Structures are given as C-alpha cells and as structure tokens.
Amino acid sequence: MVFGDSLSSAYGLPQEAGWVSLLKKRLQQERLDYQVINTSVTGETTRGGLSRIAQSLATHHPAIVILELGGNDGLRGQPLDATRDNLEGIIKACRLHGAKVLLIGMRLPPNYGTAYTQKFQSIYPELAKRYRLPLTPFMLEGFGYDPAMFQPDRIHPAAAAQPIILDNVWKTLKLLLG
C-alpha cells in the first residue's frame, strides 16, 4: 500500500504515468506476486495521514506500507515535532497491524532556511534508525534540483521523472519483497 501525498498520487499526470503505476508494472515484470493499492491523497499532511491510517490498514490489510508523507507539512512550515510525532504514529499503527514500513524521505527547498530544512530532513533517518525501517533517503534523488523535470508549478515531478522516482524507491523496496 502506498500511503502518500500528491507525489505518489500522480498529480497533474495521467494515472498510468505515475511512479505507483510504474511500480505495478515492475512487480509484474519481476514476477513478484504483490497487489499495489495507492491510498495517496493530494495535499495530504502527516496529521491527515495519521487520522486515516487505521481505516486504510483495516480496509486493505497491506503486507508493506510505503510511507511518503511530510512534504506538505514542511512546505506549510508546520512544527517539526508534530510532523515527527505524526509519522511515528503512522509507523506504530502499521506495525501494530503487522505491516512492514518503507519510509520515503523528503527535502525542502532552501528558502525555508537552513535550520528548518536540516531539522526537517533529519526526521526521516532518525525515525528509520529508531524503528529499524528501510529508508529511501530522498524520493527526488537525481533530479530534485532540475526544473526541467517538474511540471510548471515546479513542485510536482513531470512524467519524465516518474521512472527515476520508481528506481529510487525500488532500490529499498526490493529488499522488503524477498
């Protein structure tokens, strides 16, 4: 189950162009017997994710949760302790439900200030270490600073970036798939 925000919901793109749809195809190509459920919501924050994780887990019973949230918290300047606590609550709920968690890290643009962006970025490896989770450090690795790889809003990756996102996630996900 992919549990994320607009970066995972293929915002501004045809669904089949998004990295989650590409993941479905990759699993088929690799002959791995997994079903992919995308419960990502455009605009989602960690608070919103925390409020809906129990229902998503009860409805879908995932073996693995790809947790991609926090970017909207950072872009809105939310308190970092709240972001960390919400992600931690989601992780605990997933574990309680017996699901493995793959944590997807995010970074913020530099205009939020060095202190805030560094503290934000450190949330992901800290949680991964504390809960012994596999971590994709930065979902947009390899293109995050290339404006040509983004839609006109300069926030959402273009179709050309989606295979790169999948490759970034796949490096860590394949270890969980066995």
Please count the other Cβ atoms lying within 10 Å of the Cβ belonging to residue 66: 26
Residues ≥6 apart with Cβ < 8 Å to 88: 127, 131
* pLDDT surpassing 80 at residue 178: no
Please give the pLDDT value at position 109: 87
Question: Stretch 133-159: mean pLDDT, rounded?
Answer: 96
**C-alpha to C-alpha distance for 91 and 129, rounded to whole angstroms:** 12
* pLDDT surpassing 90 at residue 79: yes
Please give the pLDDT value at position 53: 98
pLDDT per residue as tens digits for the range 105-142:
999 988 889 999 999 999 999 999 999 999 999 999 99
- The catalytic residues are 6, 153, 156
**C-alpha to C-alpha distance for 130 and 118, rounded to whole angstroms:** 18
Question: Stretch 160-175: mean pLDDT, rounded?
Answer: 97
Please give the pLDDT value at position 144: 87
Please give the pLDDT value at position 18: 98
pLDDT per residue as tens digits for the range 22-68:
999 999 999 999 999 999 999 999 999 999 999 999 999 999 999 99
Residue 149 to residues 13, 50, 80, 117, 153: CA-CA distances in angstroms?
A: 13, 30, 28, 22, 11
Please give the pLDDT value at position 108: 92
Please give the pLDDT value at position 110: 86
pLDDT per residue as tens digits for the range 96-113:
999 999 999 999 988 889
108: helix, coil or strand? coil
Does the domain spanning 2-177 belong to CATH 3.40.50.620? no
- Which residue ranges make up each domain of the chain? 2-177
**C-alpha to C-alpha distance for 98 and 61, rounded to whole angstroms:** 9
What's the predicted TM-score (pTM) here?
0.97
**C-alpha to C-alpha distance for 101 and 15, rounded to whole angstroms:** 24
**Closest-CA residue to 8 (of 173, 178, 176):** 173
